[in-house]
A and B are shown apart, each in its own frame.
Chain A
C-alpha cells in the first residue's frame, strides 16, 4: 500500500476516535472526511448533525463539499434549523462528540479562523466564525483537527479567539460560565494526538510512527510538553488505508483542495 502519509494517518487517527453509535456534531472540512471514513470502517451507526439542522445517519452517495452542500441532506431523517442544531442538540448536551477544524490554534486550544494581525488592519483576513464559536463554547467532547504542521498554525497565543478554548487557562474558562464538559479535549493533526493538561495547556500525548520529538517541537510556537508516557500510535490496517485513500480521491473530485505531500 506504499508509504502512508502523515495526512492519511491524521484522518485515520481521527476516525478511530469516533465511536460507533455516537451522535456527532461535525464542522466543516476534514472533520467531515474523518466522520465519513469512520462510518465506512467501524462506525456505520453514527448520527452526524450539522449547524444548518441536517441530521445525516447514513453514507450519502456524494461527499458533501461543506455541511451546507445539500448532498448532505440526501434522504436525511431530519432537516431542521440552526436553533435546533446549535442550541437544542449541541447546547443542551445531546451530542457526545464535537469536531471542529482549527486552522490556527494556540497553547490553550483557542482557535482563530478570523484574522492574522490586527482586526482592523488584517495581515490575512480569514473567513470568520460561522458556527465555530458555538462548537467550542457548547460542544461536549470537543475534538479539534488541524492538517497543518507549520509553526504559524500553532502560535503561543492567537491574534483573535474565534472559538474559545481554555482562554488564558482552564480557570478563566470556568469563571466565564462555560458549561462543564465543554472545551477542547483533544487535537489530532498529522503528528499525532494532543491533549490538554489541568491548566488547559496542550501537550503531545501520542505520535504517529516516524514522528520524533524534534518534529513536534519544530511545529509549535511555544515549548510544547511531550508527555513522558507519549505513545507511538499503531500502523493503520490495509483496509483503513484503502478506505481513506478512496475517500480522499472522492473528495478531490468534489473540488477539495488537498494538503501537499
Chain B
C-alpha cells in the first residue's frame, strides 16, 4: 500500500492550486476548511473557480480578497446572527473588489449533481424545479438542469448534470498515512462531493495510526486510494464546528461580521488575522488558549 504525501498547507496550495484553478471546497457550515482560504489569501491567488455548497465566511473572505472569478454555491452568508456576507454582497452589488460570476443550485440539486459525478452517471433526477429561479436563471452552467420524459411513465422529470470538480479540498477529522480519511457526525453531501472530484486533498485535524482507523471503518469517507495528498492542521475549520473536536466560534463570527461591514474593516481583518499571523499555526496562537478552551470539545489533546 502506498503512503500518501503529507504536505504543509503552504506546500499544498503552492503545488495544487495555481491561479485560475477549479476547486471544490468541502464543508457545509461545519468543517469548512477556513485555514485553506487563509493560505490562498496569503499566496494571493487570483481567478479561482470555487465550488462550495455552503459559502459562509470562507467564500466571503476569498471574494473580498479578490481571489475568485467564478463561484458555484447553494448559499453564501454568515449564519451566526444571521448577518450578511458583506464581501459577497459588495462584489455582486458593486463589483468590489472585482465582479464575480455566480451560478447556483439548491442543496438537494447539488447533492444529486455530485452523486451523479461521484457515480460517473450521465445525470440524476432531482426535485421538480420548473418555475423556480434556479431553473430559468443560468449563467456559466447553462445546461445545469434539463427535463426528460420518464421512461416509466408519470411525465417529465427534472434532471441535473453531473459535477466533477478537477480538485477537491476537504476538512476531515483524522487520516492515516495511507490517506484513509475519517469523518464523524452529520456528513451533509461530503461523501458524494469527495467521490465526485478527480483529485482529492484532505486537511485533517490529526494523523492517526491505521490500526486506529480500523477501529471505526464505517466512518471512513474516503478510502486511501481516493486521496492524493494529506495536510494535518488542527483547528483548520475554525470558526465553523468540527464534530467532537470543537464548537462553532460565535464570537469570531460576530467579529468577522462586524469588521467586514466596510472594505477598510475587511482589510484590517485580513492584515490582522490572515497576513499578520503568517500561517495557520500563527492564527491558532493568536486565537489564544482561553478562547480555544471555550470551544474545545475533545478532552484528550490532538
Contacts and interface: CB of A to CB of B under 8 A. Distances in A.
A86 B79 contact: no
A130 B247 contact: no
A220 B76 CA distance: 28
Contacts of B188: 51-53, 68, 81-82
Nearest to A87: B108
Given A79-B186, A81-B186, A177 B156 contact: yes
B106 A82 contact: no
B30 interface: yes
B189 A81 contact: yes
Interface in A79-118: 79-83, 86-87, 91, 112-114
Contact of B79 (A66, A76, A128, A172): A66
Contacts of B76: 127-128
Given A52-B188, A256-B81, A128 B248 contact: no
B81 A257 contact: yes
B132 A137 contact: yes
Contacts of B130: 176-177
B253 interface: yes
A4 interface: no
Contact of B131 (A68, A119, A173): A173
Contact of A129 (B83, B85, B106, B158): B106
Interface residues of A, number: 58
B75 A130 contact: yes
Given A79-B187, A130-B75, A125 B88 contact: yes
B302 to A, nearest CB: 17
A44 interface: no
Contacts, number: 185
B192 interface: yes
Given A122-B92, A137-B132, A69 B248 contact: yes
B131 A164 contact: yes
A157 to B, nearest CB: 12
Contacts of A127: 55, 75-77, 82, 84-85
A131 B105 CA distance: 9
Contacts of B75: 113, 127-130
A144 interface: no
A29 interface: yes
Interface residues of B, number: 61
Interface string B248-260: 1010011000000
B108 A81 contact: no
A134 B128 CA distance: 9
Contacts of A82: 28, 107-108, 111, 188-189
Given A81-B186, A137-B128, A160-B133, A51 B107 contact: yes
Interface string B59-93: 00000000000000111110111111100110011
A124 B54 CA distance: 19
A70 interface: yes
A70 B134 contact: no
Given A87-B108, A119-B133, A160-B137, A133 B127 contact: yes
B127 A52 contact: no
A70 B241 contact: yes
B185 interface: yes
A52 B193 CA distance: 14
Nearest to B29: A68
A146 to B, nearest CB: 15
Contacts of A163: 132
Contact of A172 (B55, B127, B131, B247): B131
Interface of A: 28-29, 50-54, 65-66, 68-71, 73, 76, 79-83, 86-87, 91, 112-114, 119-120, 122-125, 127-134, 137-138, 160-164, 167, 172-173, 176-179, 254-257
3 cross-chain pairs, A with B, having the tightest CB-CB distances, nearest first: A133-B106, A68-B29, A127-B77
